[in-house]
Amino acid sequence: MTKKLYLDHQYLREFSSTILQKVEAGKNPGIILEQTLFYPASGGQPRDTGTVNDIPVLDVFEDEKHGIVHLLAEPVAGEAVEGRINWQRRFDHMQQHTGQHLLSQAFMMAGNAATVSFHMGDESSTLDLNQGNFSIEAIAAVEDLANQIIYENRPVMSRIIRKNELDQYPVRKLPSVDDNIRIVEIKDFDYSPCGGTHCSKTGEIGIVKIRRFENYKGGSRIHFLCGLRALKDYQEKSNIIKQIGDCLSAGETDLYNNIKKYRDELKSLRREHSNLNKRYLNYEAQALFSERKEIDNINIIVKIFEDRHPKELKILAQKVLQNFPDTLILFGAKAEGKASLFFLRSEGLACDMGKLMQDACAVINGRGGGRPQQAQGGGPATDKLDAALQCAYLNLAGILTGNK
Ligand SMILES: [Zn+2]
């Protein structure tokens, strides 16, 4: 069985070992070492990365058959090896993991909530708790307690005990193994069975910061950062706040009030814009109607618009019909390199706008259709929009005068 050097020498970065066994694990060669610093993914903590004889270690995992397997990018020659772990990654994991112990106990003491599970992600870590509905103030109290223990720089120790010694320790959770139970203690604060790697003093955690929290599966999920991750997050947030401040020409303390002020102004401007638009459409509808053609007392409005959104044309056409009965509308528009058509008529008039639309769309090499009262379509031939509307108008004239 491989000796787990990382349990008692969590600050070592390099080690020497011999290969006990070479195994095949999928496409890549695997080795079992006499001793190792490589932590295999376990208990919410991800694996270490690094090299063995300068060959990248692709994966480290523990299985019942072999113990700890190091999966290598290529085969290693000989029996003696020199291993090196990625220290930056390991120290980050130690900060997050020790911070988790601290936070779990702080939630127990200040929030009466037990940790159900822990996951350390590449960017952020999560704790799932058996209690939910935390207030901002309750979360702040937990954070304050955890950080207080960090500033006291308490020792973090581990010891191996037997199962019958367990009742001597106020453990936060029960161990998952029956013997050789490793208890990790944050001095006089937290006792937890754990096989992970931790800082030796709480001061090394630097800071514990809860980024957000939400109710989750009847309890809650806490997203948190420790150490350098928290610093990086603080740097990013400071930059964002500075950018927003520059944008609004406001200092940090005025940001909220400024944004609120702009939001209220925007709401009022939108209202004003909507009212003006309604009034403008009324004038435009009036102007269009004054340019109408008439066949047998039926009003026909034919118009091509430049750079006008089809949605807006629909509203304009509806506005015309609201004000003027017995009217037929044939609208065309060019926008974003496309030709579009929109036809609408007053209720009760006897002609099928859907049929008119099909014929007109053929002229602009497009497609369209609709109901007898309303139809729309479009096509790529913007230069034939005039001809398409002319085609629709002539068809319509034929229908209205009984020649079609
Ligand atoms: Zn741990």
CA 201 to ligand 1 center in whole angstroms = 13
CA 318 to ligand 1 center in whole angstroms = 68
End-to-end Cα separation, the chain, in angstroms: 95
Distance CA 124, CA 119 (A): 9
Distance CA 330, CA 313 (A): 10
CA 163 to ligand 1 center in whole angstroms = 18
Residue 332, sorted as left (phi over 0), alpha (psi -120 to 50) or beta, turns out to be beta
For residue 205, the cross-strand partners are: none
CA 13 to ligand 1 center in whole angstroms = 19
CA 180 to ligand 1 center in whole angstroms = 15
Q: For domain 90-240, give the CATH number.
A: 3.30.980.10
- In this chain, the answer to whether the domains covering 90-240 and 291-400 adopt an identical fold is no
CA 192 to ligand 1 center in whole angstroms = 7
Q: What integer pLDDT is reported at residue 308 of this predicted model?
A: 84
Distance CA 55, CA 303 (A): 74
CA 155 to ligand 1 center in whole angstroms = 14
CA 184 to ligand 1 center in whole angstroms = 7
Which residue shows structure tokens 């208890």?
183
CA 342 to ligand 1 center in whole angstroms = 67
CA 241 to ligand 1 center in whole angstroms = 35
CA 236 to ligand 1 center in whole angstroms = 28
CATH number of this structure's domain 291-400, picked from the four choices 3.30.2400.10, 1.20.1440.120, 3.10.310.40, 3.40.228.10: 3.10.310.40
CA 271 to ligand 1 center in whole angstroms = 57
CA 94 to ligand 1 center in whole angstroms = 8
CA 98 to ligand 1 center in whole angstroms = 6
CA 285 to ligand 1 center in whole angstroms = 73
CA 182 to ligand 1 center in whole angstroms = 10
Q: Which residue intervals of 249-307 are DSSP H helices? A: 255-290
Q: DSSP 3-state assignment of 228?
A: helix
Render pLDDT for 216-232 as a digit per residue (tens, 0 to 9).
Answer: 999 999 999 999 999 99
CA 65 to ligand 1 center in whole angstroms = 24
CA 97 to ligand 1 center in whole angstroms = 6
CA 153 to ligand 1 center in whole angstroms = 17
Render pLDDT for 278-337 as a digit per residue (tens, 0 to 9).
Answer: 899 999 999 999 999 999 899 999 999 998 888 888 999 999 999 999 999 999 999 888
CA 264 to ligand 1 center in whole angstroms = 49
- In this structure, whether the domain defined by 3-85 belongs to CATH 2.40.30.130 is answered with yes
CA 57 to ligand 1 center in whole angstroms = 23
CA 69 to ligand 1 center in whole angstroms = 21
Domain ranges of the chain: 3-85, 90-240, 291-400
Strands (E), 205-295: 208-216, 219-226, 293-295
CA 73 to ligand 1 center in whole angstroms = 29
CA 124 to ligand 1 center in whole angstroms = 17
pLDDT in tens, the chain (404 residues): 899 999 999 999 999 999 999 998 788 999 999 999 999 988 888 999 999 999 999 999 998 888 999 999 999 999 999 999 999 999 999 999 999 999 999 999 999 999 999 999 989 999 999 999 999 999 999 999 999 999 999 999 999 999 999 999 999 988 988 888 999 999 999 999 999 999 999 999 999 999 999 999 999 999 999 999 999 999 999 999 999 999 999 888 889 999 999 999 999 999 999 999 889 999 999 999 999 999 989 999 999 999 888 888 899 999 999 999 999 999 999 988 899 999 999 998 989 999 999 999 999 999 999 999 999 999 999 999 999 999 999 999 999 888 65
Residue type, 141: A
Identify the CA nearest to 213 among candidates 132, 146, 144, 137.
Answer: 132
Question: How does 157-182 read in b/e, with b if 16+ C-beta sit within 10 Å?
Answer: ebeebeeeeeeeeebbeebeeeeebb
